[in-house]
Structure formats: structure tokens, C-alpha cells
Amino acid sequence: MIDGPILLVILAVTIYMIIYLTAYLKMHPFLVLILAAFWVGFAARMPVGDIVKTITTGFGNTLGGIGIVIVCGVIIGTMLSKSGGAFSIANAMLRFVGKTRSALAMSLSGFVTSMLVFCDSGFVILSPLNRPLSEKTGTSYATLSVALSTGLLATHCLVPPAVGPIIAAESIGANIGFTILLGILVAVPTMLVGNIWATRYAKKFQIDTKTEVVSENELLKKYGKLPPAWKAFMPIGIPIALIAFNSIVRLPSAPFGEGGFKEAMSLVGHPATALLIGVFISFTLIPKFNRKTVTDWVGTGIVSAASIIVITGAGGALGAMLRVTPIGSYLGESLASLSIGVFLPFLIAAALKTAQGSSTVAIITTSAIVAPLLDTIGLSSNMGRVFAVLAIGAGSMTVSHANDSYFWVVSQLAEMDTAVAYRCQTIATLWMGITAIGVVALLSVILL
């Protein structure tokens, strides 16, 4: 397998190829991503057998983690849409925040949810609210989608007990309490920058939805009334609560012990199980309940989920291929010789994130690289370790693009084409990362 600077050329060509084939030649993203994965393998001179095995394993592992979640989430979204429940929730949210703040409402929803729920699961759960909010307020669908996705990403990368930050804190030896407090302090302006990008830039894009959209008036005429907001929220709220509580139960301190209760929560609190429970709860929203309606609506959701699933899996295949090449390690080793304080962990994490796609992998890998260098870069104090974790988190969101399964979850559920997703989602994560490391650097000057 090749090594050295040529790896960066391979990465650059891969990104260009994905954009060109999807945006200009209009090839289906699934085919493009699989072709890109093969290109990376051949360009890096991997054995042919390893190339095929890596692609199929990466595809399967990605869908093993998120496939059922996507299907169940889309089914719940279908139930909310067809029953009018999504409009009931949208009306309740607008009464609370006002019509002019719908994008901020989605940012905050994502911000809170992702502290305990993976951002891809959070987007699947909450994205059905975007369409009715867009219809009722006139806010761009792209704006609401980007506001939600960036709100989710801010806490996912910066605030324990989200998986990445808490692993980094344990690996580096940072105080969890201070990491949470300062993580929130950094995540708030980071979320707001994502919201500003959504409201000022993403609003320029008109998304031509392929999803059948039925107006609130049509649903009222058909059914006479819509489900109450509290009932409509149950298929969303209960899965979030189960996943969040499972995260608390599984904390290293084991607040509820190590016995049967923890095992039970690991079952019902797993995202796949929690969303499946949400599916069955969503059946209560059907105005005139009968087996044919249930079967038809579930079938509609499964068909809608199919394209999202295969594209997400293909993104996982590309990410897996990039992870087994030396691209990430080459970037990390090249940057590790620099002594630039909090900017070193940021740059290493950003390089790893951009190279291989996974924020969690970028955080874990960077933590292992940075831990022995804390003395050298002046971050070995108790507070310095906290800032190292936050700098890593800032880098781990920079940037989300085609090798990141979250990029495809967002773009496909929001019905963005690849070029629009790069402009809306990828550039948003760039500004978020820059903002986050800027705030981290400022706080480190004040507190170190």
C-alpha cells in the first residue's frame, strides 16, 4: 500500500470525483460512492480481495448501526405526515416560539436531543417536523433541515455524555463536569453559527421534494380533526427518552448499578429498539385504524427509506475504505510535530474527520495521538485537558462531506442533491468548527 503525500492527492481526487459525477453527470449517489470506494482502494494499491471485503464490510457495518433506525424513523415520519400529527406538533412549537423563530426551534431541538442521542438518529427522528413547519411559516425547507442538522452536530461533538466527547475526556483524563460545562459554553455559539448559516445562506436553495405533501386543510377536510399535539409527539418523545435514559444508565459511574435494570435498558434504549417502539406508538395516530391502512402506510415508509439506506451504506463503504488506508495516520503524524496549543488537537481531528468521515473515530484517534503530547503543547493541567477535549471535538465536526454517513442521512432525508448538500451542510460544518476552536482558544487564554 502506498504512503506519503500522494495520499492527499487520492483524497482530493475522490472528493472531486463525487461532486462531478453527482452534480454534473447526475449519476445516482449510490453508484458514485461505490465507484469512489473502489477508486480509493485501487489508487492506494490495496490487494483486490481486501478492496471488495472492505467495501462490503463497511456497507454492512454502517447499515447494521443505522439501517433499522432509518427505516423505523421514516415509517414514523410517514405516520406523522399522513395522519396530520406533524402539523399538530408544528402548531404547538409555533405557539411556543413564534413563527419567526422556527429555525431556532429546530436548532435548539437538535442541540438538546444530541447530548444523549446520536446525531444521525436524532435527525431521523426530528426531520419529519421540518416539512409542516416550512409550509406553515414559509421558512425554507433547506433552512430548517440545516438548522436541525447543525444543532444536533454541535452537542454531538462537544458535550458529554455524547459518546465521542466522553471517550475523549476519559482517554485524556479531563474532568467530566468541567468538560460538560465548558462544552455547553462552546456548543451554544457553535450552534448559533450553524443556525445563521441556515437562515442566511441555505434559504437560497429551493428543494424540489419528491415526497407527496398534503396540506393541513386537506387533512382536516378528510379526517375532521388532527391528533392532539401531545399524542403526536409520543412516537418521537418516547424513543428519545428511552435512548437518553439508556445513555445515563450506561455512564461509567453506573448510577443504576450493573444488574438486570441496566440490561433491560440496553435493550429498550438501543436506538433500533426505541424507534421500533415508536413505530408501534405511531399506529395510534391513524384516524380510522384498520390493518390495510397500517400496511399501506408502513409500506410507503419502507419504500421511502430504501434509497436513503443504500446511499448511507455506500457512504459507510467509502468511509471504511478511507479508514483502512494510511491517509488518516499520515495526516495525524504530519501534524503531531507542531506545537501550537489547542490548535494542534483541532487540526489533527479535523484532518482525520475530513479524511475518513466519522466524528467519533476522529475523536478517539486524535485523543490517542494527543494524550502523550499534552506536556509539549501546554495542556497537561486539569483545565488544559478539558480544552484539549473541546479542541478535538471542534475538529471532529470539520468537515462533514461525502465520506460521512451523517452527510447522507441529512442530504437524503432533506432531499438535497449532492451539490446543494456540500454548500449547505459541509460549509456549515466548516464555519461551526472554526467558531468552536475560536471560542476554545479564547477561553483557554482566559482560564489557563
pLDDT per residue as tens digits for the range 80-120? 878 888 778 877 877 887 888 899 999 988 898 887 677 88
The stretch 427-437 carries a mean pLDDT of 98
Most confident region among 222-226, 244-248, 279-283 by mean pLDDT: 279-283
Q: Is 50 within a domain?
A: yes
Q: Is 196 within a domain?
A: yes
**pLDDT reading at 444 higher than 60:** yes
Identity at 217, one-letter amino acid code: N
First to last CA, the chain: 43
**pLDDT reading at 220 higher than 80:** no
Q: Is 145 within a domain?
A: yes
Q: What are phi and psi of 254, to 5 degrees?
A: 50, 65
The pLDDT of residue 128: 86
Q: CB neighbours (10 Å) of residue 86?
A: 29
The pLDDT of residue 446: 94
Q: How far apart are CA 328 and CA 325, in angstroms?
A: 8
Cell representation of residue 70: 432509518
Q: Is 83 within a domain?
A: yes
Whether the upstream peptide bond of residue 228 has omega within 30° of 0, thus cis, is no
Q: Is 403 within a domain?
A: yes
Q: Is 76 within a domain?
A: yes
How many CA atoms are closer than 13 Å to the CA of 272, on its beta-carbon side? 8
Please give the model's pTM, rounded to 2 decimal places.
0.77
Whether the upstream peptide bond of residue 399 has omega within 30° of 0, thus cis, is yes
Q: Please report, for residues 101, 132, 142, the alpha-carbon distance to residue 138 in angstroms, rounded to integers and kept in the order given.
A: 12, 10, 11
Q: Is 1 within a domain?
A: no
The pLDDT of residue 95: 82
Q: How many domains does the chain have?
A: 1
Q: What percent of the chain has pLDDT over 70?
A: 95
The stretch 421-435 carries a mean pLDDT of 97
Of residues 120, 117, 164, 157, the one with CA closest to residue 365 = 164
Q: Where does 227-290 have alpha helices with state H?
A: 229-249, 260-268, 271-282
In this prediction, residue 211 has a pLDDT band, given cuts at 50, 70 and 90, of: low
Q: Is 292 within a domain?
A: yes
Range of the domain at 384: 6-447
